Chain A
Amino acid sequence: MAERATGPGTGARPSGGLVLGPLRTLTNEFTDKERRLAYILVTPALAIILAIALFPLLYAIWLSFQEIIINQSSSFVGLQNYVEMFQDPDFHSALRNTTVFTVLSVSLELVAGMAIALALSRAFKGRGIARATALAPWAFPPAIAAVMWRLMFQDQVGGGIVAYLIKSSGIYTHPILGNDAALIGAAVLVDAWKTTPFMALLLLAGLQVIPQDVYEATKVDGATSWQQFWRVTLPLVRPAMLVALLFRTLDAWRVYDLLWVMGNRQLNSLSVYVYNGVKISQLDFSLGNAAAVFVFLSSIAIAFVFIKVLGTRAVE
């Protein structure tokens, strides 16, 4: 049983001489007594992973090919749910809002996070306290942060301080909470406030491992600090940046709580679309489920692009 189910890689396809090599190593894998024991021991763990990770995923994908209306029988409809989803104006607004939110918030957080990380990586008095306080906003639960900021952005009860400042400076004179675009802008700022520290922390860890002597060497060669940043710091911090960007982008892509609370349930995002479909509506379960699969697949695609683009350059 173990032999068939847990062969490593894709080696078990006997078609032509090319596969003979892998095939031979594969046989070796199982004739070696100790290795066989290893496989037997690892099988339960693999089975659990398959059961809890892969099964629900495949089940969701299978469901997305069905037309399901609660309390009625379901039927196989192929890709129709996806076609309907891509034609749904609500899905368009969800996709647009999520994309805008992700691009803006992650770019802002990257730039601000890098600045903070650079500042904190220098040795100065009270650095420990500075690092701890910089992390404070990150400790807020997103829903709490959203409620808190929503109060500051509203201009009715008592008059929110941010709303007042924005209005009196003449940047935007309408109620911020009453306009979707302004609301997304506000949400981007709140998200940046909340997660820039996290970004800074990851980047700081990357900065710390850059050996000092590299900087000394460039200094000897007469490089300006600007050149040092572009030629030394940035390339060497890239692996840490990849991790930070990947985390933040995927987080932003499936944003739910922040927009849900900031927008008082009105601001659409992909996750909100999924929730509305499967939980609120009694007719759109299939669309919501298809959107859930879309979020999953698009997340994988985003991760893939990041690793491909940023990862290979780091190796060069």
Chain B
Amino acid sequence: MTKNASRTGNAMDRRDFLRLTGAGVAGAALLPACGGFSGESEGSGSGKLIISHGPDEVLAGLMPKMLGEFNKQHKGEIEAIFRPMGEDYFDQLRTQFQAGGGDIDVISGDVIWPAQFGANGWIDDLSDKFTEEMQAGFLEGPLGANSYQGAVYGVPWFTDAGMLYYRADLLEKSGFSQPPKTYDELFSMAKKIQADEGLRNGHVYQGSNYEGGVVNGLEYIWAHGGEVLDLSDPTKVIIDSPEAAAGLATQRATVEEGISPEAIVTFTEAESDAAFTNGDTVFMRNWPYVFGIVLAGDVKIKMNQMGVAPLPAGEGGSQGFSALGGWNLFINSASDKKDEAWELISFLSSPEMVKFRAIEGSYLSPLKETYEDKEVTSKVPVYPVAAQITDQIRPRPVSEFYGDMTLEMAEEFNNSLKGETSPEDAVATLQEAMQSIIDKGTA
């Protein structure tokens, strides 16, 4: 009896199961079909040119105007569409490349990507199209970041640089007529103003364990005369030097001497600009975007309270250096519309478009001429300052293994800033770890 009953039960289950599986299989069969269909409608087969860019709301707002103009000029021939990407842009691109290239034609990519993408053959060498004559109009920093082993892989379309923001009103009140030129000056000025005003922070920057922390660590190292890779041989790591250790020691001293909060080891751009625009802080190292925030006016401090200067020099260093950020345009090697792609790149990096982005979004130009353009310098407050620092902007180490090396740097710089590792040990650990990455990759 029971046996029979259970059998019937099973039979029912089986029937249900088969029905469900059938539905599942049919659904699974439909899915790729859908994917293929939608892919085709905006993909390579249909003649539309796809350009992608990382998360950037301001630029996403300007894109329709720029592409609208481009599409009008090429009506009937090329139609470009914009594909905004999320925080995992880099991972997604890499996955697509490994799977055969994907459908994006023009890739807007970070300054730290060209070497890795180029060395793997994922993006085209643009030497034929992007002639030396054309290159002459660009700033050296952004251009250098796109060049790797004699080839040039991308055209810079806007750039970014670290700057020292300061409270002009407080400096004046405490009797300082100029922003600091060295870290020694910065330390003593910060301490005095902190004491005079009872401020919470003397100096804030990005100290967290992430790419921004690497940028900041590098700036301290460069300011003290240290280097990461041998400039004439990028397969040689030379970070284990007294200069580099001195750089990290100065960075650690900001915490030890109480001018930076202990929590600086968790700070990214957002925490830094909040601390500064709240009026809690004397100095801040950050990117040009903070101008936009202060100009928008929803924060405690106003434009006339704020000043911007080049980053200070360290002891033993000749001058301060500012790490280069910014974005560049690449052509996907798998694209079947390379001429059209180049057409779009030339358009987006033209002086008119660069100027448009400068005025509408405060984006820094990669072209030298924009810094002398009266209209831009008068309308965009960051430009006169940026013009002073264009010669101190440096790309981060250019290597096809930067992606792996930066993870090590982020961790060790952060450990040193926390005081868990001495600066000397940090650079020694990095020397070994980064060299073994290069050796492993080139073996």
Contact = CB atoms under 8 A, between A and B. Distances in A.
Interface of A: 41, 69-71, 154-157, 174-175, 177-179, 264-266, 276, 279-284
Interface stretch (B230-238, B260-268, B367-375, B388-396): B260-268
Nearest to B116: A282
Contacts of A178: 262-263, 265-266, 418
Contact of B266 (A41, A69, A154, A282): A154
A175 B265 contact: yes
Contacts of A175: 261-263, 265-266
B414 interface: yes
Interface stretch (B126-134, B178-186, B399-407): B399-407
B275 interface: yes
Interface in B127-143: none
Contacts of A284: 404
A177 B437 CA distance: 29
Nearest to B14: A41
Contacts of A70: 94, 98, 120
Contacts of A179: 418
B407 A281 contact: yes
Contacts of B210: 264-266
B271 interface: yes
A283 B209 contact: no
B275 A156 contact: yes
A266 B210 CA distance: 8
Nearest to A267: B209
A71 B98 contact: yes
Contact of B263 (A155, A265, A266, A281): A155
Given A175-B261, A178-B266, A284-B404, 16 more contacts: A69-B441, A154-B263, A154-B266, A156-B266, A156-B271, A156-B274, A175-B266, A177-B266, A178-B263, A264-B210, A266-B209, A276-B407, A280-B91, A283-B401, A283-B404, A283-B440
14 contacts: A69-B440, A70-B98, A70-B120, A156-B261, A156-B274, A156-B275, A175-B262, A175-B263, A177-B263, A178-B262, A264-B266, A265-B210, A279-B91, A281-B404
Contacts of A276: 407
Nearest to A175: B263
Task: Sort A-B residue pairs by CB-CB distance and give the 3 closest, nearest first.
Answer: A175-B263, A266-B209, A178-B265
Contact of A281 (B120, B261, B403, B418): B403
Contacts of B267: 156
B147 interface: no
A3 to B, nearest CB: 22
Tell me what chain B mostly uses at the interface: helix, strand, loop, or mixed. helix
A173 B415 CA distance: 19
A282 B98 CA distance: 11
Interface-central residue, A71, A264, A266, by most chain B CB under 10 Å:
A266
A86 B262 CA distance: 33
Nearest to B122: A71
B208 interface: yes
A contact patch SS: loop
A283 B271 CA distance: 32
Contact of B414 (A71, A266, A283): A266
Contacts of B208: 264, 266
Interface string B359-371: 0000000000000
Contacts of A155: 263
Nearest to B262: A175
A280 B209 contact: no
B437 A157 contact: no
Nearest to B275: A156
A156 B414 contact: no
A175 B266 CA distance: 9
Contacts of A265: 209-210
Nearest to A282: B403
Nearest to A183: B266
A157 B418 contact: no
Contacts of A41: 14
A161 to B, nearest CB: 16
A282 B441 CA distance: 9
Contacts of B440: 69, 283
A89 to B, nearest CB: 9
Interface string B247-288: 000000000000001110111000100110000000000000
A154 B208 CA distance: 13
Contact of A71 (B14, B120, B263, B403): B120
In the complex, which of the residues A41, A155, A282 has the most CB atoms of chain B within 10 Å of its own CB atom?
A282
Interface in B18-69: none
Nearest to A44: B21
Which of B263, B275, B437 neighbours the largest number of chain A CB atoms within 10 Å of its CB?
B263
A69 B98 CA distance: 12
A279 B267 CA distance: 25
A125 B276 CA distance: 53
Interface in B399-443: 401, 403-404, 407, 414, 418, 437, 440-441
Interface in B210-240: 210
Given A266-B208, A280-B407, A283-B404, A174 B266 contact: no
A4 B404 CA distance: 49
A192 to B, nearest CB: 23
A284 B404 CA distance: 9
A276 B94 CA distance: 14
A149 B176 CA distance: 42
Nearest to A41: B14
A275 to B, nearest CB: 10
A177 to B, nearest CB: 5
Contacts of B98: 70-71
Interface centre among A69, A70, A177, A283 (most CB of B within 10 A): A283
A174 B403 contact: no
Nearest to B98: A70
A49 to B, nearest CB: 12
Of the listed residues B116, B210, B265, the one surrounded by the most CB atoms of chain A closer than 10 A to its CB is B265
Interface in B82-122: 91, 94, 98, 116, 120-121
